[in-house]
């Protein structure tokens, strides 16, 4: 399997980034509604996925999106390779019905499992941080016929589409870097079409107010 370009391990980045950003100091998160955008009460909820019976969340972090979906009656498996995030997830959701928590690299997990799901989704998750040329061929065979691959991530800023490497640890000390994959809507559509998905639809949902950062939302189906 082709290696992802990185300096330091990507797990290190995620174990460092969230605590450093002060993003994970709060208590039990609100899972009353599935969110697809960076703004509360903006954009679609769980209905974005149709009516799957089973779903796999790739890059779930603490599994907030997956648990919100599970509470609508879907059987959800959440995969993330950050020990820090999975520890938080296990602390909150170990006894949650319909939720399975897996600490693993999504690429290894998808390559090794023979399970299939009605839906595979990335809610600002792994699809934002893995080369789609590597990820998409692993996702498609894991979908049931007619199954849905859905994703969201921040709206890329034109003209800087595609892979973007950035330091994850400030500009001093040990090199720690992460690659974000931010194809344009047209690039995503071409990628999904070329990798055999059907009914591809990738759009930008504008931010909550005029001029605010928007969200890329994508859906594509197994034939």
Ligand X SMILES: C[S@@+](CC[C@H](N)C(=O)[O-])C[C@H]1O[C@@H](n2cnc3c(N)ncnc32)[C@H](O)[C@@H]1O
Q: Which stretch binds ligand X (CB under 6 A): 105-113, 139-147, 159-167, 186-194?
A: 105-113
Calpha distance 78→65 (Å, rounded): 9
| Residue among 1 and 210 whose Cβ is closer to ligand X | 1
Using the contact rule CB under 6 A, the part of the chain among 67-75, 124-132, 163-171, 181-189 near ligand X is: 124-132
Q: What stretches of the chain adopt beta strand conformation (E)?
A: 54-58, 75-80, 99-103, 117-123, 143-154, 162-167, 177-182, 198-205, 215-221
Cβ atoms of 164 and 184 within 8 Å: the answer is no
Given a contact cutoff of 8 angstroms between Cβ atoms, the answer to whether 70 and 95 are in contact is no
Per CB under 6 A, 130 contacts ligand X: yes
Using CB under 6 A, pick the residue from 125, 147, 214, 218 that binds ligand X: 125
Instruction: State both tokens at 39.
Output: 């703004």
- The contact mask relative to ligand X for 51-70 (x = CB under 6 A, - = no) is --------xxxx-xx-----
In this chain, which stretch among 75-83, 90-98, 113-121, 191-199 interacts with ligand X, using CB under 6 A?
75-83
Report how far residue 177's alpha carbon sits from residue 95's, in angstroms, rounded to the nearest whole number.
Answer: 35
Task: Return residues touching ligand X (CB under 6 A).
Answer: 10, 14, 59-62, 64-65, 79-82, 85, 105-107, 123-126, 129-130
């Amino acid at each position: 399997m082709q290696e992802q370009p990185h300096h330091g391990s990507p797990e290190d980045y995620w174990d460092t980034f969230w605590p450093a950003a002060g993003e994970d100091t709060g208590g039990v998160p609100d899972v009353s509604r599935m969110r697809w955008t960076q703004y509360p009460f903006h954009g679609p909820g769980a209905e974005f996925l149709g009516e799957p019976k089973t779903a796999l969340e790739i890059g779930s972090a603490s599994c907030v999106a997956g648990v919100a979906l599970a509470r609508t009656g879907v059987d959800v498996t959440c995969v993330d390779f950050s020990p820090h995030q999975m520890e938080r997830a296990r602390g909150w959701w170990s006894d949650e019905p319909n939720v399975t928590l897996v600490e693993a690299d999504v690429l290894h997990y998808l390559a090794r499992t023979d399970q299939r799901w009605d839906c595979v989704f990335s809610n600002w998750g792994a699809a934002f941080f893995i080369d789609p040329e590597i990820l998409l061929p692993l996702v498609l065979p894991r979908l049931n016929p007619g199954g849905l691959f859905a994703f969201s991530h921040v709206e890329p800023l034109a003209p800087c589409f595609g892979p973007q490497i950035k330091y994850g640890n400030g500009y001093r000390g040990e090199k720690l870097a992460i690659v974000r994959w931010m194809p344009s809507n047209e690039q995503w559509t071409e990628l999904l079409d070329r990798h055999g998905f059907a009914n591809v639809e990738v759009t930008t949902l504008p931010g909550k107010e005029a001029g605010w950062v928007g969200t890329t939302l994508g859906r594509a189906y197994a034939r």
